[in-house]
Amino acid sequence: MEPHAPTPTRRMKTIERLARAGVAVGINASPIVPGLNDGELPELLREARDAGATFANRTMVRLPGPVKEVFAERLRLLLPLKADKIMRQIEDARGGGGRLNESRFGERMKGSGVRWRMIEDLFASAWQRCGFRPMPPPPEVSTFRRPQRVKGQLELF
């Protein structure tokens, strides 16, 4: 739905190239839009694993402020017969009550309620079947050194 975003095929080729080069590669299934792309999670994770990804994560769609209107407009333009159902499923995966967003830190990228638990279960079973590992720790930063201050070009004369 996002204009100018790289295609899934192009993204998988990137994962493959990085993995062949020895880079630890993972995938973030993001954003998961209930009713739109959540059913594709098993295939997406399988394709990522086959391309060389070794870890995977997921993020629930967030629709804060004006993003909600842009998203809903684009959804209605591209999928007019499914748009209302998808918007209701997003609300259900946010715990109901008409909410399309969660702003609390630590909660904003997750859903809640029965609908989200179904998505989590689907993701977890696909994750396990694919043999993904937990995300690796970030690289060690103790080897980082600030570059030496270089004198300006005028110092050359």
Q: Which helix (H) or strand (E) holds 56?
A: strand 55-60
For residues 90 and 63, give the distance between their C-alpha atoms in angstroms, rounded to a whole number: 10
Residue 43: alpha-carbon gap to chain centroid = 15
Give the count of beta carbons closer than 10 Å to the beta carbon of residue 49. Answer: 20
Q: Per residue of the chain (157 residues), what is the pLDDT tens digit?
A: 777 889 889 999 999 999 999 999 999 999 999 999 999 999 999 999 999 999 999 999 999 989 999 999 999 999 999 999 999 999 999 988 788 888 888 888 889 989 999 999 999 999 999 999 998 887 777 776 766 666 666 665 5
DSSP string spanning 101-154?
---STTTTT--BHHHHHHHHHHHHHHHHHHT--PPPPPPP-TT--PPPPPPPGG
- b/e map 104-130, b = 16+ CB within 10 Å: eeeeebebbeebbeebbebbeebbeeb
